[in-house]
Structure 1
Amino acid sequence: MSDCTRRHTIALADDHAVVRAGYRRLLELEPELAVVAEYADAEAAYFGLAQQQDGEVELLVLDLSMPGRGGLEMLRRLRQRLPALKVLVFTMHESVALMSQCRDAGASGYVTKSSDPVQLVAAVRAALSGESVWPAALAAGLREGSPHERLSPREFDVLQHLLAGRGVEQIAQILHLSPKTVANYQTLVRQKLGIGTAVELLHYAREHGLATS
């Protein structure tokens, strides 16, 4: 490849520095790929990318489980701010419901961290070329009409925080909402899922692949 060949620009967002370093080394083994930015949390990624011109960074490899508001909400905000930016979700969660939320939020694809490294490189290349990248096993499990499919994006955010064991006050702080608003969302989530207790919520989450661990 000649020196004048254009390199594709990539940003990484993951809260583990060692993991980011591994991604960078893996991706930059490919001569046409260049990692030009790294971020350790969702807010830093959003504000860092928002300061760039649309198209300056072509692809963001995004972990969802980061400090602060989290990757899913940041994905929605980025799609509004930088519509040309492609986002490849790279996460430990093998969740059909979470994949569905990422798809609806505008992600280009979804790769689990249990995948072979070669699959990440292939997914990056595919996303850069404009293809959608969704795991066949998870995509086959998408179930339209399940109660959690009717949750709004904000309700799904609150659900994910509840399943992570966070209380109303903590969720309110993370999402920059009032505790009363979060409590209202919690009530709506339980109503839509047809559950009444935290134990029932956890049982539902496990049945539908929503549990975070």
Structure 2
Amino acid sequence: MTPRNSIRLLLVDDHFVVRSGLAMLLAQQDDFAVVAEADDAEQAVAHYRQHRPDVTLMDVRMPGASGIEALQRIRGEFPDARVIMLTTYDLDEDVFRALEAGAVGYLLKSVRHAELFAAVRKVHAGERCVPQSLETRCKNGALRSRLSPREVETLDLLARGFSNREIGSALGVTERTAKAHVQAILVKLEAADRAEAVDAAYKRGLLRADYK
């Protein structure tokens, strides 16, 4: 039975060892109670519906649907859901998408235990818990670098080494239009050339490492 006045937690991570270790760590706090655990997005949504936790700790990257997609679904049904993204990654695009989807916290798994406990309590109290450095990067970097769907397609082809003519052919547009898309990407990613744009895209999480 969950003690009265405990902060009820849902843990979502596809790695069992990480998830169970986190559960044991949180259980050391008298005011925390882990009410459910999930290892993928589908379970996360189902457990949220069933348990209505006070705070959810969600991994960003999982097999199948991501933690951000699970967050979007949960917030779509429960707009007041308080979700902290707890992840290994602090790529600009991940941070931006998580905050845009309604996450009220974003912490790295390297966070100190005391900071994690404090973050859970702050979020439960209705506050946000996102490191200032990530907030600043999100506002000043990722927000400006948002690409249109066509620019994302162009970026993918750039990473594969396509020329402007080849990009135009693949997208069904003229070489001139393809060049315009490339120039827009360079501006948004603040890159001097195509290679620098692709490198910046990997660092921001706009391209997956398996494209390399």
* TM-score, normalised via structure 1 length: 0.69
Are positions 1:193 and 2:189 aligned together?
no
Match of 1:25 in 2: 24
Match of 1:83 among 79, 82, 104: 79
Give the residue type in structure 2 aligned to 1:15: D
Note the C-alpha offset of 1:121: 1.1
Give the residue type in structure 2 aligned to 1:105: A
Change (3 A) 1:115 1:147: closer
Structure 1: how far apart are the matches of 2:195 and 2:100? 28
Q: How much is the aligned-residue C-alpha RMSD, in angstroms? A: 3.4
* Deviation string, structure 1 residues 71-116 (Cα, Å, up to 9, x no partner): 1111111101112221000000122332122111100110011211
SS of the aligned residue for 2:138 comes to: coil
Superposition map of 1:140-179 within 5 A: 140-144=136-140, 149-151=145-147
Match of 2:62 in 1: 66
* Deviation string, structure 1 residues 123-168 (Cα, Å, up to 9, x no partner): 111111111001122223234475764347xx6xx89xx7xx9xxx
Whether the aligned pair in 2 keeps the contact of 1:147 and 1:193 (CA below 8 Å) is no
Structure 2 unmatched ranges of 5 or more: 160-170, 173-177
Aligned residues: 178
Structure 1 unmatched ranges of 5 or more: 166-182
Are positions 1:118 and 2:114 aligned together?
yes
Note the C-alpha offset of 1:201: 5.9
Higher helix share: 2
Superposition map of 1:118-137 within 5 A: 118-137=114-133
Structure 2: how far apart are the matches of 1:147 and 1:10? 31
Change (3 A) 1:127 1:60: same
Structure exhibiting the larger radius of gyration computed from Cα positions? 2
Change (3 A) 1:20 1:207: closer
SS of the aligned residue for 1:126 comes to: helix
* TM-score, normalised via structure 2 length: 0.70
* Deviation string, structure 1 residues 21-65 (Cα, Å, up to 9, x no partner): 111111111111100000011121112323x26xx3111100011
Give the residue type in structure 1 aligned to 2:21: G
Structure 2: how far apart are the matches of 1:151 and 1:90? 25
Structure 2: how far apart are the matches of 1:104 and 1:125? 22
